């Protein structure tokens, strides 16, 4: 079987490494010069300690990448996904298209799965998400993810094809819940990073994780998600990982905010865009999300970490729900 992976960043490359144990893989990206160097050296600057197997073809030619592929996995950063897929979709041949990017599109407010569906309207599609770091997947460390799609009979076949000895996939019929869990956890990771960076303590972080989970569930269910999805790998599992590890770029960004440091603008921080995309939606739907609102203010530069924490602590006392 041949699998095409769109997006040669860290996560796309890690998936290529993991799936090359079972399948031939074509790894596609736009930067031809950089990819030519990767193809020759069998090393990616995104995962410098990992060697690419010979059955991984690295290319910037979309025809080469897509021809004959039985699955397409899209690991393009979410803010660039819609444009890239619009260009590539005419080359698709009805294969399953599975989104692997997390976040919400700043222009449309759509999550990863919904962006795919807005472009790829005729073919089958799903979302692969859950607690995972690219470096762990590439090293062959055991990882469990959620593979979600509306057609359960399809997703079971996809599960069998794409699971490996170290990558265990669980199925779900709730792609909306899966995409929103993966998107919104990045917002909470920024809040947790800022809390630790500002020296506010691990107890405060634990409170943010817990109340952040409540906000994520509240929002996702309002948009049609199943609450049990948000309690699983795509929700709480991913939230725990991202909010507690400095491997997370969103957590790193929050740390920098809390410490008053400048963060490298070249590093993709999907939680920043997601928080800003989320704000008008939660206000329009009247969904109470004080943590997400505070993170949006931090990302926009309209409040400080101290002001955000003071506002959260000053909220009216209430029953925990």
pLDDT tens, residue by residue, 70-89 = 999 999 999 999 999 999 99
Residue 273 sits in a domain of what CATH number?
1.10.1040.10
Same domain? For 90 and 217 the reply is no
Decide: 98 and 147 in contact? Cβ < 8 Å: yes
102 is catalytic: no
Bridge pairing between strands 2-6 and 56-59? unpaired
> Which entry of 43, 121, 185, 247 is annotated as an active-site residue?
185
Same domain for 255 and 290, yes or no, is: yes
Same domain as 107, residue 30: yes
- Is residue 250 domain-resident? yes
What integer pLDDT is reported at residue 50 of this predicted model?
93
Picking from 146, 175, 204, the residue at the C-terminal end of a domain is 175
Q: Which structure tokens are listed for 97?
A: 């298209």
Spell out the residues 6+ positions from residue 203 whose beta carbon is closer than 8 angstroms to its own. Answer: none
Same domain, 56 and 130: yes
In angstroms, rounded to a whole number, what is the distance separating the alpha carbons of residues 25 and 15?
9
Alpha helical stretches, state H, 26-174: 32-41, 62-66, 78-88, 112-119, 134-138, 152-162
CA distance linking residue 169 with residue 221, whole number of Å: 23
The pLDDT value recorded for residue 151 is 81
321 lies in a domain? no
Is 309 found in the same domain as 213?
yes
| Structural domains counted in the chain | 2
pLDDT at 18: 97
Res 138: pLDDT: 96
- 318 occurs within a structural domain: no
pLDDT value at position 122?
86
pLDDT, one tens digit for every residue, the chain (321 residues): 999 999 999 999 999 999 999 999 999 999 999 999 999 999 999 898 899 999 999 999 999 999 999 999 999 999 999 999 999 999 999 999 999 999 999 999 999 999 999 999 889 999 999 999 999 999 999 999 999 999 877 899 999 999 999 999 999 999 999 999 999 999 999 999 999 999 999 999 999 999 999 999 999 999 999 999 999 999 999 999 999 999 999 999 999 999 999 999 888 899 999 999 999 999 999 999 999 999 999 999 999 999 999 999 999 998 887
| Residues 161 and 204 reside in one and the same domain | no
Distances (CA, A) of 164 to 137, 140, 253, 280: 11, 10, 32, 40
The whole-number pLDDT of residue 266 equals 83
Determine the Cα–Cα distance for residues 89 and 67; give it in Å rounded to an integer: 12
> Tokens 């000053």 appear where?
314
26 is in which domain, residue-wise? 2-175
Domain's final residue, options 141, 175, 209: 175
* Torsion sign, CA atoms 158, 160, 166, 168: positive
pLDDT at 268 (0 to 100): 85
> Which pLDDT value is given to residue 285?
95
pLDDT at 270: 93
Residue 265 pLDDT: 85
Whether residues 160 and 135 share a domain: the answer is yes
Both 35 and 154 in one domain: the answer is yes
At 80, which CATH number?
3.40.50.720
Q: How much of the chain is helix, strand and coil, in % rounded to 5?
A: 50, 15, 35
């Amino acid at each position: 079987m041949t699998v095409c992976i769109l997006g040669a960043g860290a996560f796309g490359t890690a998936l290529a490494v993991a799936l090359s144990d079972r399948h031939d893989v074509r790894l596609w990206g736009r930067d031809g010069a950089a990819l030519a160097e990767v193809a020759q050296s069998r090393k990616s600057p995104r995962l410098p300690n990992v060697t690419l197997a010979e059955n991984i073809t690295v290319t910037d030619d979309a025809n080469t990448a897509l021809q004959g592929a039985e699955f397409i996995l899209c690991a393009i950063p979410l803010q660039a996904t819609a444009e890239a897929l619009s260009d590539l979709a005419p080359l698709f041949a009805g294969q399953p298209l599975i989104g692997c990017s997390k976040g919400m599109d700043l222009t449309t407010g759509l999550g990863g799965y919904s962006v795919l569906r807005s472009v790829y309207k005729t073919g089958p599609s799903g979302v692969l998400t859950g607690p995972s770091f690219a470096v762990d997947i590439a090293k062959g460390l055991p990882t469990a993810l959620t593979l979600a799609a509306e057609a359960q009979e399809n997703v079971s076949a996809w599960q069998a094809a794409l699971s490996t000895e170290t990558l265990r996939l669980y199925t779900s019929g709730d792609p909306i819940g899966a995409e929103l869990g993966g998107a919104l956890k990045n917002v909470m990771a920024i809040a947790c990073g800022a809390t630790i960076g500002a020296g506010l303590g691990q107890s405060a972080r634990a409170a943010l994780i817990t109340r952040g989970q409540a906000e994520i569930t509240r929002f996702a269910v309002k948009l049609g998600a199943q609450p049990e999805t948000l309690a699983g790998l795509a929700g709480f599992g991913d939230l725990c990982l991202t909010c507690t590890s400095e491997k997370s770029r969103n957590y790193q960004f929050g740390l920098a905010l809390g410490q008053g440091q400048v963060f490298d603008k070249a590093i993709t921080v999907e939680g920043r865009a997601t928080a800003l995309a989320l704000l008008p939606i939660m206000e329009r739907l009247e969904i109470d999300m004080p943590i997400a609102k505070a993170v949006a203010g931090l990302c926009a530069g309209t409040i400080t970490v101290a002001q955000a924490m003071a506002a959260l602590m000053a909220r009216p006392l209430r029953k925990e729900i």
